[in-house]
Amino acid sequence: MTPYATTRRIDSHHHFWDPATREYPWLTDPALQRAFGPADLEPLLRANGIDATILVQTVPDIDETREFLEIAGTTPFVAGVVGWLDLTDPHMIGTMTALRDGEHGHHLVGVRHQVHDEADPDWLLADTVQSNLNGLAHAGLVYDLLVRPRELPAAITTTRDFPHLRFVIDHLAKPPIASGEIAEWSALMHEFAGLEHVACKLSGLVTEADPETWTAHDLTPYVATALEIFGPDRLMFGSDWPVCLPAAGYDRVTDTLRTVLDELGVLTAEADAAIFGLTAIRVYRLDDLLPSPVAAD
Average pLDDT over residues 7-33: 95
Contact 134, 158 (CB under 8 A): no
What's the pLDDT tens digit per position in 276-292?
999 999 999 999 999 86
pTM of the model: 0.95
Residue 267's pLDDT band, with cuts at 50, 70 and 90, is confident
What's the pLDDT tens digit per position in 218-231?
999 999 999 999 99
Considering the chain, what percentage of its residues have pLDDT values greater than 90?
Answer: 94
Residue 2's pLDDT band, with cuts at 50, 70 and 90, is very low
What's the pLDDT tens digit per position in 32-48?
999 999 999 999 999 99
Provide the 8-state DSSP code for 256: H
| pLDDT recorded at residue 292 | 66
| pLDDT recorded at residue 226 | 98
Beta strands 78-83 and 10-14, pairing class: unpaired
Q: Is the pLDDT of residue 169 over 70?
A: yes
Q: Is the pLDDT of residue 58 over 90?
A: yes
Helix 127-139 and helix 92-101, axial crossing angle in degrees, nearest 10: 30
| pLDDT recorded at residue 6 | 54
Burial class (CB in 10 A: 0-12, 13-18, 19+), 73: middle
Rounded CA-CA distance 211/155 in Å is 28
Provide the CATH topology of domain 10-289. TIM Barrel (3.20.20)
Answer whether the bond into residue 163 is a cis peptide, omega within 30°.
no
